[in-house]
């Protein structure tokens, strides 16, 4: 599922290009590599159904129509023959519908390292509040394409730490923008994000072929970026506003 072979040079160059523009964004979870870092447990990512909880169906109803803001489309993998995914926008959010490749870059853990991930990189475009790379095994986060003529996420009110809602089947999970990827590919999230959505998080063989909706809320940056609890609470509130509840 993870096909980023053409992405490595672009990702490294993209991180360097962002340099001064990059805001803190990384996970300082436990070194065990589990998805439950010390900053927050999985319960913060899995709210119980009830009054005030926005469902997957409600969010998907708000993104049925696409008002395209990207100048072109993205491929879902480096080997994809065609670019088929546009980035769409509303007044309050940006969204795209794609697959999910697994991002295991950043802090080295038992789950994310060069042995488990042949394309592992020890950096992320954004850093934690301690100035360290994010822990992809602990922090649910989304990867956005590096700025290009097709689309520049920074011009859409997004940056490291911006809150995102990710929908897969009947599940909604909240996280942050935590890394950037190739300028021509879209559809990637961290090991922790995949795991909380019930998607196989293995960086070499896991992921989802399709059916994943990413909704990034404009001007919604949280701090510290590694706080799963803040991403959950802010995401839930923004989702309620988004669906008009």
- The pair phi, psi for residue 94, each rounded to 5°, is -125, 140
Distance, CA of 151 to CA of 48 (rounded, Å)? 36
| Predicted pLDDT of residue 16 | 39
Q: What pLDDT shows up at residue 49?
A: 56
* Residue recorded with tokens 């670019």: 83
- The CA–CA distances, whole Å, from 25 to 129, 169, 211 equal 7, 28, 27
pLDDT of residue 15: 40
pLDDT at 98: 98
Q: Are 217 and 93 in contact (CB under 8 A)?
A: yes
pTM of the complete model: 0.83
Q: Where are the alpha helices (DSSP H) in the chain?
A: 8-18, 56-62, 191-196, 228-242
Successive 10-residue mean pLDDT values, the chain, 245 residues: 43 39 37 40 51 92 98 93 96 98 98 96 98 98 98 98 98 98 97 98 97 98 98 98 90
Helices and strands (DSSP H and E) totals, the chain = 4, 7
Q: Distance between CA 52 and CA 45 in Å, rounded?
A: 15
**What pLDDT does residue 42 have?**
41
Among 189, 182, 149, which Cα is nearest to 14's?
Answer: 182
Per-position DSSP letters for 145-170, written without gaps between them: EPS-SS--GGGGT--TT-EEEEEETT
Q: How distant, in Å, are the alpha carbons of 22, 70, 119 from that of 112?
A: 23, 32, 10
């Amino acid at each position: 599922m993870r096909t980023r072979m053409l992405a490595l040079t672009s990702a490294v160059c993209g991180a360097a290009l962002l340099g001064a523009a990059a805001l803190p964004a990384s996970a300082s979870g436990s070194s065990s590599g589990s998805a439950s870092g010390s900053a927050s447990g999985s319960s913060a990512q899995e709210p119980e159904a009830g009054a005030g909880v926005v469902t997957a169906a409600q969010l998907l109803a708000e993104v049925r129509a696409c008002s395209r803001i990207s100048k072109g489309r993205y491929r879902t993998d480096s080997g994809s023959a065609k670019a088929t995914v546009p980035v769409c926008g509303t007044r309050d959010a940006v969204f795209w519908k794609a697959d999910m490749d697994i991002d295991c870059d950043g802090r080295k853990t038992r789950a994310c390292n060069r042995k488990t991930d042949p394309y592992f990189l020890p950096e992320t475009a954004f850093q934690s509040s301690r100035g360290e790379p994010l822990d992809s095994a602990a922090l649910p986060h989304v990867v956005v394409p590096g700025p290009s003529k097709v689309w520049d996420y920074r011009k859409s009110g997004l940056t490291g730490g911006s809150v995102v809602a990710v929908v897969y089947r009947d599940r909604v999970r909240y996280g942050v923008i935590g890394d950037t990827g190739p300028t021509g590919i879209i559809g990637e999230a961290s090991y922790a994000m995949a795991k909380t959505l019930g998607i196989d998080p293995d960086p070499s063989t896991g992921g989802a072929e399709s059916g994943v909706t990413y909704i990034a809320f404009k001007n919604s940056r949280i701090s510290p970026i590694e706080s799963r609890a803040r991403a959950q609470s802010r995401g839930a509130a923004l989702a309620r506003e988004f669906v008009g509840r």
